[in-house]
Amino acid sequence: MNKESKIFIAGHRGMVGSAIWRSLSEKGYTNLIGRTSAELDLRKQKAVSDFLEYEKIEVVIDAAARVGGILANNTYPYQFIMENMLIQNNLINGAFELGIKKFIFLGSSCIYPRLASQPLKEASLLTGELEPTNEWYAVAKISGVKACEAIRKQYGLDYVSLMPTNLYGTHDNFDLETSHVLPAMLRKFHEGKINGHTPVKLWGSGTPMREFLFVNDMAESVVFALENTLPDHLYNIGTGVDLSIKELAETIQRTVGHKGEIIWDSSKPDGTPRKLMDVSKMHDLGWKHQVDLEEGVSKTYQWFLKNVDHIKKVKM
């Protein structure tokens, strides 16, 4: 990959997109292109096509999506399926029609069936029912994976899909209504700490098993896919190691320094019982994560403390 190639990072201000931008910049890529949602509405087909053509984009990295946790998915199912399909379809088809030969599509481990055999293999896609609490987002992302696979199969273009496990890190969303489990926990424990180590109530039983990947490692996997021609269309991105939500809570509580009680609200849904990724395909090609959970949570909390007054929707 030429370091001067014109690379469009869709969603460059988000947690994942900004990490990809930082990683590519550090490696000497000098022609990175980004647009805010105000500058380019990715839901508008003509606007996306015109932009890609005018800027003469050579590579598209799709890190743009409407994302959120269980509450957000259950509350806004139509927005989660329709907006994500519009965004990715406009980017994928716009790139294809303009002859853009390299496209990296980012999705999520929620594309796999709820009760698929663990660890989750790429071959498990479409072999069973999805988790109901995030099926709207999952269906959208599955359609993106299959679109990229179809272009690759029919036209031989290097369109590849990377499916990360649960991501966290700097520039995350810490809003309690729309965030994922790890940043939501981090904020709750922080607020409990500064309010005199008051009890922290968490959703579910604490028994589900989850895998977490620091966002900088995700960015490195994208760089790996950018700089290499991967032989298949779909790859899991993760650590290959999981832990219970209870263990996660204890890790975050210890990092934050909260000394109060943890109360588990079993009336709230647990979601999928377990989601562990089989990452052997990427390992075999030479990519592996570098940041363990303790280090990643610590880095995330330090960033949170430095930026708490400016984080969207977080008002102490």
Residue 290 amino acid letter: Q
Active site residues: 137
User: Count of CB atoms within 10 A of residue 283's CB?
Assistant: 13
Identify the bridge partners of residue 203 per DSSP, sorted by sequence position. Answer: 265
Please write the tens of the pLDDT for every residue from 167-206: 999 999 898 877 789 999 999 999 999 999 999 999 999 9
| Per-residue pLDDT, 309 | 83
Please tell me whether 109 is known to bind a ligand: yes
Please write the tens of the pLDDT for every residue from 22-34: 999 999 999 999 9
Please tell me whether 144 is known to bind a ligand: no
Which residue is it, tokens 């399909």?
85
Which domains are assigned to the chain? 7-307 (3.40.50.720)
Confidence of residue 312 (pLDDT cuts 50, 70, 90): low
Percent of the chain at pLDDT exceeding 90: 86
Instruction: State the average pLDDT for the chain.
Output: 94
Say if residue 315's pLDDT is above 50: no
Please tell me whether 107 is known to bind a ligand: yes
| Per-residue pLDDT, 316 | 38
Please write the tens of the pLDDT for every residue from 80-138: 999 999 999 999 999 999 999 999 999 999 899 988 999 999 999 999 999 888 899 99
Please tell me whether 283 is known to bind a ligand: no
Rg (CA), the chain: 19
Pairing of strands 212-214, 102-106: unpaired
Which residue is it, tokens 């598209």?
60
Give the distance from CA 226 to its chain's centroid. Answer: 17
Which residue is it, tokens 């939501």?
184
List the Cα angle 82/45/42 in 5-degree steps: 65
Helix/strand/coil percentages in the chain, nearest 5: 45, 15, 40
pTM: 0.92
179's torsion region: left (phi>0), alpha (psi -120 to 50) or beta? beta
| Per-residue pLDDT, 74 | 84
